[in-house]
């Protein structure tokens, strides 16, 4: 008896699903050490930023189970790598890098670009009401201004 095409397709899909787990990219989830944080204007700003931004823009990433499974692992890993490169609250460069600019941060949050929409959908704690959005933007602005090295 020959296998139905749907059965073959199903087995093929499972085989591919298993094979891609062997790709090494995106599997290193060891967070780099915390080097230097900005001078937070108050603990509430840090708490809020940690809640909404730290998973990508810090070295304190909490990697969920699905971030260990390809292909989600590849997308999440490259997102975090790119995010840390632009703005890393655990490796503050003293306002000397593009993403550390408070004008840029305000623009990204107020326009709803950050945190990214796909992240907000998966993380209810990252959805901001108007009051916490304002607290976050104002708090980060004060923090960035106090953290610029001259």
Interacting residue ranges for ligand HEC, rule: CB under 6 A = 52-53, 55-57, 79, 82-83, 86-87, 98-99, 104-105, 108-109, 114-116, 119
Nearest to 50 by CA among 68, 63, 62, 36: 62
CB of 63 to ligand HEC, least distance (A): 12
CB of 64 to ligand HEC, least distance (A): 11
Residue labelled with tokens 């931004």: 53
Nearer of residues 56 and 70 to ligand HEC, judged by Cβ: 56
Contacts of 78 (CB under 8 A, 6+ apart): 26
Nearer of residues 10 and 66 to ligand HEC, judged by Cβ: 66
Nearer of residues 70 and 108 to ligand HEC, judged by Cβ: 108
105 vs 22: CA distance, rounded Å: 37
Contacts of 71 (CB under 8 A, 6+ apart): 20
57 vs 34: CA distance, rounded Å: 12
CB of 36 to ligand HEC, least distance (A): 18
CB of 10 to ligand HEC, least distance (A): 32
Nearest to 105 by CA among 131, 55, 144: 144
Nearer of residues 70 and 80 to ligand HEC, judged by Cβ: 80
Burial 33-47 (b: 16+ CB within 10 A, else e): eeeebbebbeeebbe
Nearer of residues 43 and 98 to ligand HEC, judged by Cβ: 98
CB of 42 to ligand HEC, least distance (A): 16
């Amino acid at each position: 008896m020959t296998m139905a095409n749907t059965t073959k397709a199903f087995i093929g899909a499972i085989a591919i699903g298993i094979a891609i787990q062997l790709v090494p990219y995106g599997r290193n989830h060891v967070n780099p050490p915390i080097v230097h944080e900005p001078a937070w204007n108050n603990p509430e700003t840090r708490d809020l930023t940690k809640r909404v931004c730290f998973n990508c823009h810090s070295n304190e990433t909490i990697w969920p189970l699905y971030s260990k499974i390809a292909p989600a692992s590849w997308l999440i890993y490259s997102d975090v790598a790119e995010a840390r490169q632009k703005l890393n609250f655990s490796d503050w460069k003293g306002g000397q890098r593009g993403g550390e600019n408070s004008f840029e941060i305000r623009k990204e949050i107020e326009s709803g670009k950050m945190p990214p929409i796909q992240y907000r959908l998966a993380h209810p704690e990252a959805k901001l009401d108007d009051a916490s959005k304002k607290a976050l933007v104002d708090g980060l602005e004060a923090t960035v201004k106090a953290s610029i090295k001259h």
